[in-house]
Amino acid sequence: MSLSTLALTPRRTAAAVLTAALLVPLAACGGGKDDTKKADSTQSPAAQSKTLTVLAAASLTDVFKTAGAAYEKAHPGTTVKFSFAGSQELAAQVKQGAPADALVTADTKTMDGLKGETGTPTVIAKNRLVIAAAKGNPHKVGALKDLADTKLKVVLAAPEVPVGRYSKKVLDAQKITVKPVSQEPNVRAVLSKVELGEADAGIVYKTDTLKSGDKVVTVDIPDAQNAIAEYPAASLKSSKDAAAAEEFVKWLSTSEAQKILADAGFQQP
């Protein structure tokens, strides 16, 4: 063996040791990446997130936005989208096959008309009627009988709308004849007419006027003359995620959801 070979041997040995030392952590890192990929591959995007579409009565607009946010917080990965309209409009959408997962109406009659389309309904809240008078109540509206004054511009919901049907019921019971200047497709449209000064008064739900501030004056209707609105909720048989739809409907009866509804002025079912 030559002297040059002997001189290089320690260097080659050191290099080999150093190379081996470097390869060990790299190999460990490589194994970690493979494990991560394997772990990630066990969870599909569809399993991690879902969207629920809920058709809901117009009078639930404000409270359901709060409820939806609470539900999403309690159910990470779930997004709740609402479509608000008059209950009769929602029923028509269901019959036409609109893609949705759950339905909440402002009356049991509308829900009962969809028995073949829904799961078993559950009443989640109640409401009552009030008179919404124009800002400052310049016409001194104080009772149902005042709405019969032909000098007043009174707006009501159409009779096929739950609040319109309730309104007709209480007016007929008191033998009060009202000739509305317009009949609106949902309760929010009635309230809007009064808020904008396009009407002197209208009949809406109590919960609707709570959000109006001083835009309207709320005139209570005595219990003996009033009607109680019931809000049933049900999953839709056409839902692509029946379990998730049913879970949302059940959640609406939980203490958390009921507190949100109560804080917004709704009565307990």
DSSP 214-266: GGEEEEE--GGG--EEEEEEEEBTT-S-HHHHHHHHHHTTSHHHHHHHHHTTP
Name the residue ranges covered by the structural domains of the chain.
50-126+230-263, 127-228
Among the four given CATH numbers 3.20.20.10, 3.40.50.2020, 3.40.190.10, 3.40.50.1980, the one describing domain 127-228: 3.40.190.10
Which letter does DSSP use for residue 268 in this model? P
pLDDT tier at 211 (50, 70, 90 boundaries)? confident
pLDDT digits (tens, 9 = 90+) for 145-203: 999 999 999 999 999 999 999 999 999 999 999 999 999 999 999 999 999 999 999 99
Q: Do the first three CATH levels of 50-126+230-263 and 127-228 match, i.e. the same topology?
A: yes
pLDDT digits (tens, 9 = 90+) for 89-116: 999 999 999 999 999 999 999 999 999 9
Q: Which residues pair with 157 in a beta bridge?
A: 184
pLDDT digits (tens, 9 = 90+) for 11-54: 444 444 434 443 444 344 444 444 444 444 444 444 469 999 99
CATH topology of domain 50-126+230-263: D-Maltodextrin-Binding Protein; domain 2 (3.40.190)
| Residue 167, amino acid | S
Please give the pLDDT value at position 213: 86
Question: Looking at per-residue confidence, does 50 or 10 come out higher?
Answer: 50
